[in-house]
Structure 1
Amino acid sequence: MLGFEQHFPSQLSGGMQKRGSIARTLVYRLDVILMDEPFGALDAQTRMVMQSDLQTLSVEAGATVIFVTHDITEAVLLADDVVVLSQRPSKLLANIAIDLPRPRNMFEPFKNPGFDAAYDAVWTEFRSQIQAGQIH
């Protein structure tokens, strides 16, 4: 955020605010970081940059990140395990191991070896809910 050191958070872009938020969290060197749809309001380009930054920073911090998202691509790219929950009341539908090599290419997800199979495994769980009329 070079050049924005004297700006207030409200004067920063959404992406800069998210970077600042992640930096504030990492300063505490927590063992576990909880993130609830942190990139949902960002534009597509900023979202990919933030996903890439989070991948790098979480490895460097050595923290476990519990990341909530409704985006299957994002889940597969960021996770080592994807936990799929049902609609309310939530129950565990599946815990899918994501065995893709790191670092992962956030900008061209389909070029990651094994991405298609991992995506299909997660999508199959969601599709079963849609077909059963459980997701509206």
Structure 2
Amino acid sequence: MKLIRFAVAESSTPLFGVVIREQAVPISVLQKKTGKTDLPVADSRSYLASLPASERAVKELAAWGEHHLAELGNGERYALDAVRLLEPVEVAALFDFGLTPRHLKNSADTIMKYEKDNPQTSALLQAFA
């Protein structure tokens, strides 16, 4: 089973799907066709958060898709070479790990400014004060 995130020309929204015989098939299409819309596999983050149940669910959907691929019409499956593949998992946040002295000072100043009254960070701030 190959999971993919991809984009198609008709939509600006990334799709989460599986590759079935050189076709990109959105999981949402497979869910709708099988009636299994309550599964926790809307996107790659929900898929990862719901492992291992989500893996079993997607394998079942992919197996159904393998047997019923010819029944899927335009907009329900896409030739793999006609889609733009995206990074496998949505990026939730980008972190800057540039540990230069200037960066560290700026980070400390920001924490002191905005987190000084936060009880969860007060012990850390006292340690560096």
Q: TM-score, normalised by structure 2?
A: 0.27
Q: Which has the larger radius of gyration?
A: 2
Q: Which has the higher contact order (CA 8 A, sep 6+)?
A: 2
> TM-score by structure 1 length?
0.26
